[in-house]
Chains A and B, each alone.
Chain A
Amino acid sequence: MKLATHDLTKNFGDKCAVDHVNLTFERGVYGLLGPNGAGKTTLMKMMVDILPPSSGQVTLDGVPISELGARYRDILGYMPQEIGYYRNFTAKRFLNYLAVLKGIPSKNAAGKIDMLLNMVGLADVGRKKLGDFSGGMIRRIGIAQALLNDPKILVLDEPTAGLDPKERIRFRNILSELSADRIVILSTHIVSDIESIAEKVILLKSGKVIGFDTTENLLRSVEGKVWMAKVGHQELKQMKDQYVISNILQKADGLDVRIVSETKPCKQAVLTSPSLEDVFVYHFGKLEINNV
């Protein structure tokens, strides 16, 4: 299966939220990475056919998704950034409600719902009202409902936002358990979320795709540009103005600073192996640097 966007564009008034995006997805996990307001949500909404594009189109195996209609939605799972729910529904009833809408036969639905609640660790609160759930619990319901119909295409908008570290690990395990025969697209602005799960990463900035490559290749692109240095507070202030800092660690004998720079930032700096975080700050960190 091949999901593709062709010059996909969305304008809100004279603001261009998504700008001529051309992407092709085949099976695998894709991370959509971009800072706040980059257009991730807008792009995803167009890909699940709930927001009409200003121009361009989304196709599955060459056929526009708007024409596939119900057949497309049948193989689609979507977790929005903001998960809606009926406050007076219990978790089970809500999932059952969506299962009927997804056309899942009722005899299969009950077992599937129990399995999913178990998977996201909410089995014991299945009969509690959603109105009493915490934000993190609602997000886990959001993940569960996206998996109800065993989708071939899974679109998750910031699935890990609001989850605590333990839940993040659980989520990562869920994703890796899903069989390989799917297209999974997840957006985030937290790099560590996708570092170990995404095979390919899309870098989105002000609505434009500025990078689309495998994680390894992206890491390679900043190879030789990531430095570690031990500096004092005074030095750090100067450095912050001049360089892109990707991480600072407070140590007993000073500060361990991670710097992304084409040139050696200071004489005590040593090269170190890059992480996805470095790629992120390299592209999104500071305007002076990333005009490459």
Chain B
Amino acid sequence: MVDEIKIIDRIKNGDRYAMDMLIKTYYQSVFAYFYCHTGSREVSMDLTQEVFIKVITYIEGYKNKGRFKAWLFTVAANHLRNHWKHQRVHHTENELKGNMIYIDSDDMSEKLDLKQALLRIPHDQREPIILKYYYGFTTKEISEILAEKEPTIKGRIRYGLEKLKKILRGEPDGQSR
């Protein structure tokens, strides 16, 4: 990871080429993160761009401490949280409606795929599950990224997995969201 530190130092000096490299290295992975959460390509692309703008804006404050990737996902997780907050204020109705149609139109007996199942569990459980199983972060890193205590994170992962399994087996999840 020496190279990464070098790249970041160069970005701090305003190096465009280094910035392009960084973005190209991590674009897909940040994009996938938002896609797992939102299930929409358009929204995920917007959010990904915004995260990279933030990263470049804050880069001078980044202190080569810990993995860069963990820092990147801290920024992404915060951004996602703001995104939901904004959505909730303005689009609660649509979201609710969207969800209803979604559930209605799905054949409950058929097994859902993971992507759809993920969208059905609460946000705070989905978040650590994705970070752990898709990105391979340790629970300690996740607790730092999400600014929560480690046991809390472990609990959320456990509950989330139980719910996921139920949904995947086609059992009613008993979840309003």
Q: Which residues of A contact B (CB under 8 A)?
A: 6-7, 61-64, 67-68, 71
Interface size on B, residues (CB 8 A): 10
CA distance in complex: A64, B82 (Å): 10
Chain B residues within 8 Å of A67, by CB: 54, 57
| Chain B residues within an 8 Å CB radius of A6 | 86
State whether the Cβ of B28 lies closer than 8 Å to any Cβ in chain A. Answer: no
19 cross-chain CB contacts under 8 A: A6-B86, A7-B90, A61-B49, A61-B50, A61-B53, A62-B46, A62-B47, A62-B49, A62-B50, A62-B53, A63-B50, A63-B53, A63-B54, A63-B57, A64-B82, A67-B54, A67-B57, A68-B57, A71-B57
* A63: B residues at CB distance < 8 A: 50, 53-54, 57
Closest to B78 in A: A67
Closest-by-CB residue of B relative to A72 is B57
CA distance A71 to B49 in the complex (A): 17
CB neighbours (8 Å) of B54 from chain A are 63, 67
Chain B interfacial positions (CB closer than 8 Å to A): 46-47, 49-50, 53-54, 57, 82, 86, 90
- 4 new A-B pairs (CB below 8 Å) besides A7-B90, A63-B57? A61-B49, A62-B47, A67-B54, A71-B57
> Closest 3 A-B residue pairs measured CB to CB?
A62-B50, A71-B57, A63-B53
Report A76 CB to chain B, min CB distance, Å. 14
Shortest Cβ distance from A62 into B: residue: B50
CB distance from B59 to the nearest CB of A (A): 10
Residue of A nearest to B79 (CB): A63
CA distance A79 to B54 in the complex (A): 27
Minimum CB–CB distance from A3 to chain B (whole Å) comes to 13
> Complex formed: what's the CA distance from A61 to B46 in Å?
9
Contacts of B53 in A (CB 8 A): 61-63
Find the residue from A6, A7, A67, A68 having the highest chain B CB count within 10 A: A67
Which B residue's beta carbon lies closest to that of A7?
B90
Residues of A within 8 A of B47 (CB): 62
Cα-based distance from A64 to B78 in the complex (angstroms): 13
Q: Which residues of B contact A71 (CB under 8 A)?
A: 57
CA separation between A68 and B57, bound complex, in Å? Answer: 7
Chain A residues lying within 8 Å of B49, measured Cβ to Cβ, are 61-62
